[in-house]
Structure 1
Amino acid sequence: MKPAVFKKTAQVTIMMLIISALLPVLAFAATGFTNVVYKDGTVSGSVYSDTYSVNSQVYVYDPSGNKIGTASTATYSVYNDVYTYNFSLSGLSSYAYLKLLEQVTGSVYHTVYNTSSSNNNNHSGGGGGGGAIPSGSTISVSSDGSLDANTLKNALANNDVVELKLSGDLVLIPAKALVDYVSDKNKALKITNDKGTYLLPLYVLKLEDLAGKLGTDVDNTTIKVSISAASDEDANGLTTAASALGGTVASQAVDFNLAALGPDNKSQAIDLGSNYLSRTLPLSKSVNPSKATAVVYDPATKKLSFVPSVFNNTDSTNEVVIKRNSNSIYAVIELDKSFADSQGHWAQSNIELLANKLVIDGVTDTSFQPERNITRAEFAALVVRALGLNTVTGGTYFKDVDSSNWFSGVVGAAVTAKIIDGYEDNTFRPDQSITREELAAMVVRALDYAGAKPEVSSDRQAELLGKFKDANQIVWGQQEMAEAIEAGIVDGITDNTIAPASQATRAQSATMLKRLLTKANFIN
């Protein structure tokens, strides 16, 4: 494993190669995007990679897959575990989102949504665009939440993203205004007030199914979206929970909610599946992303959990973009956790980062035990936390997982999300140390759930695994191992060994989770 900081000299590079060949630790590659913003015709951010490149570029594509520009000025910035290259490209037309391809390794894509205050979209083709940009992409919503169906329908006909600016805390969206656009993945509503912003892609709304569950038709169905301050009781409970963790609250506690309404205000929750929708919370100050996280507050248990979140701190803006596939009360907290037995460890920064994100816990308040092996149940719990999933209780999944086990709920969540499966004898073997092969499979399935898994052809799989002389020891996870390598998360222990049967430590697992979250753009 490479150390956190080193100078780019040939002497030190050779030294690191010798050390990496001698130490039996997992090696992790890293390539991806961070701090990417698309706003007011400009896309900017950073590419990181553990491969140094003198020709770093970022290719920019519109939602239809047409290449519209190249950020050829991507420049080397800093080395800290990985090389970072800053890029910026201006003069772009206004699209709902852009897709970026990094050209350090040429294999990592990233989708960035338009966060302009008024996002008009004419798809007039290429570069700086041309032709008239339709007006009317912002609609003011009165304090009672009422919204005219025809006004919204006409706005959606001319714009991919329509902003609904709320005077109050809610909007009541006539489903009949949306029915013509729910099959178009470019169409979205940007719902905003002084407490936050909710980006709602229309394709997540299964209007016919929702109407059926409400016992009505689409014409009589309403989509209710609310962005409101949490109650005093819940806000106080959240503050108390943060204090118990050694943290402080750094934002207002905001309740984001999404539901379908039928006649007589009958309500139906909207299942988002694995679609991670973005919600933005304004912050009153700049925070350090490595010592802060967005959290979800559960009023029933009065506990806080990690939520995938990316912080944007600029001269004019301090905000956090929260990504989750369910709705609840969210806030930002700041922490500064460390463990005595991890000081000076190669994985110290990753351990402390994820501890501050509430993804990993210490064995005690001061001990992490970084070199201890990690079990299948323990790693399943970490992956479930990293994805911000709710636990699932009450199911019978494996004959060696009982509802009384501490890991029952996380195993249920991981099974539901198709992240884990058991052995042929219907066991999960929760206390068995996890192998690299099993760990790679869980991570790749988590990437798939988050919509960030790379596609690997059979030829590419053979190429990726062919350089490892022990690849024939992979029992069943050849595809998953290849995809983990392609994603830049797993690499060989040496140049020609992958060691699929070796067991992972807590430090190595923390590092892999950090790479997973960064690859999925769930942290920065």
Structure 2
Amino acid sequence: MKKVFMTKTAALIASLMIVSMLVPVLAFAATNFNNVTYNGSTVTGTVYVSDDVYTGDDVVVYVYGSDGTTVLDTVYATYSTYGNYNFSSNVSYATYSTYFPLQLKYFYSGNSVTEWVYNNSYSGGGFFFPSGNVLIDDNGKVDGTLLSDLFAKDKNPTILSKSDVVTIPADALSKGETLTIKLADGTSITLPIAALKLDEQAKSLGVTLANLIIRVELKKLTGDAAKAVTNAVYGIDAKQLATPVDFKIVAVGNGKEKQINNLGTYFKRTLPVSGAVDSKTVTGVVYNPETKKLSFVPATFATVGGNVIATVYRNSTSIYTVIQLDDVSFKDVTKHWAKEYVQTLASKLIVEGTGANKFEPNRNITRAEFAAMIVRSLGLETTGSTSKFSDVGSSKWYAGAVAAAAEAGIVLGDDKGKFNPNANITRKELSAMVVRAMSYAGKEVKLTDAEVSKALAAFTDAGSLGWAKAEVAVAVNAGIVNGQTSTKVVGNANASRAEAATMVTRFLTNVGFIN
């Protein structure tokens, strides 16, 4: 076995691509891994390539950690029989808490083939400990004792499941901070364990924690259910880039079940995406089977091991997919300074036009309109209504959005208990709502008096900000708000639709909810 240094990885990939250019038929060659095992510290297996690859050509196998980016070893596979190349790599079992399970990759003609492998045996499909005991079996059942042992070594581990339904003993789950369950294609969910409130779930079902099971589902939609999502995508002239997945977290005990929905905190899911993406026109969406509509959810996109993976952030479970919405433009923003911001939010289903292919970027925006915009940008549900504000009737179009924003602590009423939904929102009010949205998204920022003064030092009208001075300072410091001029922040001026779209785009980028 020949080993190469990590620094040669890029050169090796390049050499493989050069070979593929010299042998064009290689681009259509079938390749796969066979008989892969991980025993002790040794990973062995065979790479098969079609007979279009000449005998004696170098085949390079890369051993990645479970993150898909950390290269643990790079080896040349040696020719065995026609089309088959054997490889062997030494990777310390001690690395499992950080990098376990492992990914094997073979690159060819700009493509890649990936295989996952656990220690001691791949063929059994389970997560094996050195003793040979199975942490998670082929049916997705997790061994509580071994999970507790795993949490003792790593409070935030990843386990790979062959099953899209995983059952976990709650008393063992309670010993960790997060648990990521991943399928071989890259679909995953990361459970924020404290947010599951396991003791409360057990009590509501009338069982002890020791008798509570948490069932996690990562089911790809098929048949009519999948078709319904596809129809919704086509209905907005978009392209579907990922198979829709229905994520569920269910508490089970005493012969009863209780689905856990709003966890009160954002947590991650990942979806494999087909083909290359443009982060400005591609977005994660949640599908509502009752309304049959799609709406934006925070999502970022990254290439992991040659494949595009979408990471979706939301505080609730549901059906998710990825879409691409091109050519979203308005004739009145073609030469507007906010064109890029407006088009980005339009392609992500956060803003809409006002009719006749117009956006009206310079028109003022009301408090209700901006509440709806910020709620959409956070991916919040808007099915409720609020009695908190006396001037927000339950039949109004904005009732659900204002209720969601109020529950999230993003909007506040005046001293008379009114929200003033139809009043134009000022720049400082908009800034305050965005800063509260940052906090809700998990990025709370508080500045000292000195830091506030420093952030606003360039603006001669900072003294007019009044109650919103600290919030505007945070927004300025985060790069979300700029002055209307280099010396004027103009906080009391009414905000425009263009300014609102700009601040929301910058906010989403700042908290890592879009690329």
- Shared fold, TM over 0.5: yes
- Contact conserved, 1:297 with 1:305, CA < 8 A, in 2? yes
| Pairing 1:169–2:160 present | no
The answer to which of 152-161 and 307-316 deviates more is 307-316
What residue number does 2:243 align with?
Answer: 252
What residue number does 2:407 align with?
Answer: 416
- Contact conserved, 2:242 with 2:273, CA < 8 A, in 1? yes
Deviations along 1:281-316, one digit per CA (max 9) or x if unpaired, are 011211211111111000000000001001113671
Three-state SS of the structure 2 residue aligned to 1:514 is helix
Shift of 1:234: 2.5
Three-state SS of the structure 2 residue aligned to 1:289 is coil
Q: Within 5 Å, which residues of 2 pair with 1:235-274? A: 235-273=226-264
What residue number does 2:140 align with?
Answer: 145
What residue number does 2:391 align with?
Answer: 400
What residue number does 1:509 align with?
Answer: 500
Deviations along 1:160-183, one digit per CA (max 9) or x if unpaired, are 3322222221111001112333xx
Mark the CA change 1:139 to 1:247 in structure 2 (over 3 Å): closer, same or farther.
Answer: farther
Deviations along 1:316-341, one digit per CA (max 9) or x if unpaired, are 11121111110111111111111111
Deviations along 1:157-213, one digit per CA (max 9) or x if unpaired, are 1123322222221111001112333xxx4x433333436111223232322111111
- Number of residues of Structure 1 aligned to a counterpart in Structure 2: 402
Shift of 1:431: 1.0
Deviations along 1:473-499, one digit per CA (max 9) or x if unpaired, are 113112211111122211222233211
Aligned partners of 2:428, 2:442: CA distance in 1, in Å?
Answer: 21
| Pairing 1:353–2:344 present | yes
Three-state SS of the structure 2 residue aligned to 1:212 is helix
Structure 1 stretches of 5 or more lacking a match? Answer: 1-36, 43-92, 98-115, 121-133
What residue number does 1:110 align with?
Answer: none
Aligned partners of 1:436, 1:522: CA distance in 2, in Å?
Answer: 23
Q: Within 5 Å, which residues of 2 pair with 1:175-186? A: 175-181=170-176, 185=177
Aligned partners of 1:460, 1:117: CA distance in 2, in Å?
Answer: 49
Aligned partners of 2:181, 2:429: CA distance in 1, in Å?
Answer: 40
What residue number does 1:13 align with?
Answer: none
Aligned partners of 1:449, 1:118: CA distance in 2, in Å?
Answer: 38
- Which one-letter code corresponds to 2:380 in the other structure? L
Aligned partners of 1:250, 1:341: CA distance in 2, in Å?
Answer: 30
Three-state SS of the structure 1 residue aligned to 2:446 is coil
204, 208, 212: which one pairs with 1:213?
A: 204
What residue number does 2:306 align with?
Answer: 316
Deviations along 1:205-234, one digit per CA (max 9) or x if unpaired, are 322111111121111111111100124222
What residue number does 2:57 align with?
Answer: none
Shift of 1:156: 1.2
Mark the CA change 1:135 to 1:361 in structure 2 (over 3 Å): closer, same or farther.
Answer: farther
Aligned partners of 1:254, 1:362: CA distance in 2, in Å?
Answer: 30
| Pairing 1:465–2:456 present | yes
Aligned partners of 2:273, 2:454: CA distance in 1, in Å?
Answer: 46
Mark the CA change 1:250 to 1:355 in structure 2 (over 3 Å): closer, same or farther.
Answer: same
355, 359, 363: which one pairs with 1:372?
A: 363
Aligned partners of 1:367, 1:283: CA distance in 2, in Å?
Answer: 32
Aligned partners of 1:486, 1:157: CA distance in 2, in Å?
Answer: 40
Shift of 1:154: 0.7
Shift of 1:262: 1.3
What residue number does 2:291 align with?
Answer: 301
- Contact conserved, 2:136 with 2:143, CA < 8 A, in 1? no
- Contact conserved, 2:372 with 2:398, CA < 8 A, in 1? yes
- Contact conserved, 2:432 with 2:468, CA < 8 A, in 1? yes
Taking structure 2 as the reference length, what is the TM-score of the superposition? 0.73
- Contact conserved, 1:260 with 1:269, CA < 8 A, in 2? yes
Three-state SS of the structure 2 residue aligned to 1:355 is helix
174, 180, 183: which one pairs with 1:189?
A: 180
Mark the CA change 1:444 to 1:118 in structure 2 (over 3 Å): closer, same or farther.
Answer: farther
What residue number does 1:160 align with?
Answer: 155
Mark the CA change 1:467 to 1:349 in structure 2 (over 3 Å): closer, same or farther.
Answer: closer
**Bigger Rg, which one:** 2
Mark the CA change 1:239 to 1:180 in structure 2 (over 3 Å): closer, same or farther.
Answer: closer
Deviations along 1:39-76, one digit per CA (max 9) or x if unpaired, are 5558xxxxxxxxxxxxxxxxxxxxxxxxxxxxxxxxxx
Mark the CA change 1:218 to 1:503 in structure 2 (over 3 Å): closer, same or farther.
Answer: same
- Contact conserved, 1:139 with 1:163, CA < 8 A, in 2? no
Three-state SS of the structure 2 residue aligned to 1:440 is helix
512, 516, 522: which one pairs with 2:513?
A: 522
What residue number does 1:290 align with?
Answer: 280
Aligned partners of 2:406, 2:98: CA distance in 1, in Å?
Answer: 33
Aligned partners of 1:475, 1:402: CA distance in 2, in Å?
Answer: 30
- Contact conserved, 2:237 with 2:325, CA < 8 A, in 1? yes
Aligned partners of 1:505, 1:341: CA distance in 2, in Å?
Answer: 14
Identity of aligned residues (%): 38
Structure 2 stretches of 5 or more lacking a match? Answer: 1-65, 72-94, 100-114, 120-128
What residue number does 1:335 align with?
Answer: 325
Aligned partners of 2:490, 2:118: CA distance in 1, in Å?
Answer: 49
| Pairing 1:226–2:226 present | no
Deviations along 1:356-375, one digit per CA (max 9) or x if unpaired, are 10011111261111111111
Mark the CA change 1:255 to 1:151 in structure 2 (over 3 Å): closer, same or farther.
Answer: same
Aligned partners of 1:215, 1:382: CA distance in 2, in Å?
Answer: 41
Aligned partners of 1:519, 1:94: CA distance in 2, in Å?
Answer: 33
What residue number does 1:481 align with?
Answer: 472
Three-state SS of the structure 1 residue aligned to 2:332 is helix
440, 453, 456: which one pairs with 1:449?
A: 440
- Which one-letter code corresponds to 1:226 in the other structure? E
Deviations along 1:435-493, one digit per CA (max 9) or x if unpaired, are 01100000000000001232311221232234422112113112211111122211222
What residue number does 1:17 align with?
Answer: none
Aligned partners of 1:240, 1:378: CA distance in 2, in Å?
Answer: 28
Deviations along 1:383-418, one digit per CA (max 9) or x if unpaired, are 000000001424312111101100000000000000
Q: Within 5 Å, which residues of 2 pair with 1:65-104? A: none
Three-state SS of the structure 2 residue aligned to 1:340 is coil
Aligned partners of 2:341, 2:226: CA distance in 1, in Å?
Answer: 30
- The alignment's C-alpha RMSD in Å is 2.7
What residue number does 2:27 align with?
Answer: none
- Contact conserved, 1:119 with 1:161, CA < 8 A, in 2? no
- Which one-letter code corresponds to 2:344 in the other structure? L
Mark the CA change 1:95 to 1:413 in structure 2 (over 3 Å): closer, same or farther.
Answer: farther
